[in-house]
Structure 1
Amino acid sequence: MCVEPLQMNMVSDTAVRVIFGTVISMETHKNIRSFCRELEKHPQKGIQEWVPSYTAVTIFYDPFLLSFDSLEAYIMNVCDSIEHHNLPDSMQVTIPVCYEEAFGPDLNQVAVHNQLTPEEVIELHTEPEYLIHMMGFLPGFPYLGGMNEKIAAPRLDAPRMKVPAGSVGIAGSQTGVYPLESPGGWNIIGRTPKKLFLPQETDPVLLEAGMRIKFMPVTTDEFLEMEEKEASC
């Protein structure tokens, strides 16, 4: 199956962005995932890494080892060889989340904004199976698709200087999980004891684009027990 990119833009003299769509969609996601899989199967000298996003893949390369014209030809050959039916099944990862007030200080605010009860927000947040479209802005941070618009909420007017690792947040129509403590302006509705980033491991990032996530509500006692187990691993 040939997948034609909509556009190829030079981002710099060492990077090219291959654009597969203009809106977030399952078809665009499949094209991007298939494209990255083909890049792995057919490595090219001079390509240093690639970074998928919602609608594009940015390829970083060494222009002393690979000219732009050669890279462009390689990209088109890769697109010609894409086969969606060879994509492996997406792995599902269950993320336990405690939505108690101590871990979700903005849960009530999200509920009030949407004229819902906190319990309804939790139910709507844990109901879908989410697709990881891309990773960023921190190592291991998943950008998820599939959140119910009924619980969408604007970013905080004043971002927090410190958001604890494991915090689950909502910003606009997106939800995500902070893998590390960092500043942030998302509405924090809960926290997971699961570690998404383990810098001491050979493969430090638990999640990757293409995986699916299911959030599972847990009590404070269950959270603390899981957190203790995670710390001892």
Structure 2
Amino acid sequence: MSGLTIEPLGEDALLLRLDRRIDPAVNARVHALVRRIEAAGLPWVREVVPAYASLAVCLAQDACDRLHDTGYAAEALRALLAGDDEPHASPEASLPAIEVPVCHLPAFAPDLEAVAAHAGLSAAEVVALHCAGDYRVAMTGFAPGFPYLLGLDPRLAIPRRSTPRTHVPAGSVAIGGAQTGIYPREGPGGWHLVGRTPVALFDPRRDPPCLLPAGARVRFVAIDEAAFRAACGRGAA
């Protein structure tokens, strides 16, 4: 596979890098590699973790020393992935998008007007464009279950806040640069908050615990305050 580099990542993983940029086509190739590695059933692969333009292959602990010393793992992965630069059709592509309800009350969307002003749009137009997107979970990270979503309308792109907030409520839907995402838990953050969902994105008691896994399709659905409160009352958040 052209452009692929493989390097050690700590003591028990390898980093496979395709590029150093955020691009939907590159990310599609990353997820194609994940599927090929997982389908191969290599006994020394413990986990495969995708990012925007790279993926980590975590090695089984009892095999780490032998695999690193001989370079066997890197060469085996090169052989497995050689000769195919086109991503195969994603099995998620045929699945319906996971709908995430979002309430855009001013209390939940303190940066909505700022995003609208930056885009030269009304707040209602920002909400409509944001909810019209067909998003893909490029990767998860930052916090357990935090989805980095590709597919944001370019008109809504905005640089991250110059001063991050020390407190962002759980469920906050936000825009940072050309990405959108959802904060699964309370914590700090520098993205612009444009709404909030009552849905719990990460629950360690759930199987799987992550509601929006890497590769999943996502759509936002606008809801009013009554629907938000009702969902919260049912224990969604």
State the TM-score, normalized to the length of structure 2. 0.88
Residue 5 of structure 2 contacts residue 17 of structure 2 at CA under 8 Å; is this kept in 1? yes
* Match in the other structure for 1:192: 197
Do the aligned partners of residues 43 and 66 (structure 1) sit closer, same or farther apart at CA in structure 2, a change above 3 Å counting? farther
- Alignment partners' CA distance in 2, 1:4 and 1:75: 13
Contact 1:45 1:66 (8 Å CA) reproduced: no
SS in structure 1 at match of 2:6: strand
User: What is the deviation of 1:124?
Assistant: 1.3
1:89 aligns with 2:92: yes
- Distance in 1, matches of 2:114 and 2:108, equals 14
How many angstroms apart in 1 are the aligned matches of 2:129 and 2:89? 33
Shift in alpha-carbon separation, 1:205–1:148, aligned structure 2, 3 A: same
Distance 1:196 1:153 in 2: 24
Please state how far the C-alpha of 1:119 moved relative to its aligned partner: 0.7
179-188 vs 64-73, which deviates more?
64-73
Letter in 2 for 1:143: Y
Q: Does 1:60 align with 2:70?
A: no
Task: Report matched runs for 1:1-233 at 5 Å.
Answer: 3-61=1-59, 62=61, 63-67=64-68, 69-80=71-82, 84-85=87-88, 87-90=90-93, 91=95, 92-231=97-236
Distance 1:231 1:76 in 2: 44
Report the Cα distance in structure 2 between the residues aligned to 1:231 and 1:150, rounded to whole angstroms.
Answer: 31
Letter matched to residue 17 of structure 1: L
- Tell me the distance in 1 between the aligned counterparts of 2:11 and 2:236: 44
Q: Is the 8 A contact 1:196 1:206 kept in 2?
A: yes
Aligned residue pairs total 230
Give yes or no for contact 1:45–1:65 (8 Å, CA) kept in 2. Answer: no
CA-CA distance at 1:85 after TM superposition: 4.4
- Structure 1 length-normalised TM: 0.89
Give unpaired runs (5+ residues) of structure 2: none
Contact 1:35–1:78 under 8 Å retained in 2 = no
Alpha-carbon offset, residue 231 of structure 1? 4.3
**Quick check: 1:97–1:192 contact (8 Å CA) kept in 2?**
yes
1:125-165 Cα distance to aligned partner (Å, 9 max, x none): 11110111111111111111111121222222222221111
**Which consecutive unaligned segments of at least 5 residues does structure 1 have?**
none
Shift in Å, 1:4: 4.1
- Percent identity of equivalent pairs: 34
- Contact preservation (8 Å) 1:4, 1:79: no
C-alpha deviation, 1:5, in angstroms: 4.8
1:105-131 alpha-carbon deviations (Å, 9 max, x no partner): 111111122222111111111111011
**CA distances 1:182-211 after superposition (whole Å, capped 9, x unpaired):** 111111110001111112223211111111
CA contact (8 A) 2:92 2:215 kept: no
Distance 2:76 2:88 in 1: 22
State how far apart, in whole Å, the 2-side matches of 1:58 and 1:76 are.
Answer: 14
User: C-alpha root-mean-square deviation of aligned residues, in Å?
Assistant: 2.2
CA-CA distance at 1:86 after TM superposition: 6.0
Three-state SS of the structure 1 residue aligned to 2:142 is: coil
SS of match in other structure, 1:230: coil
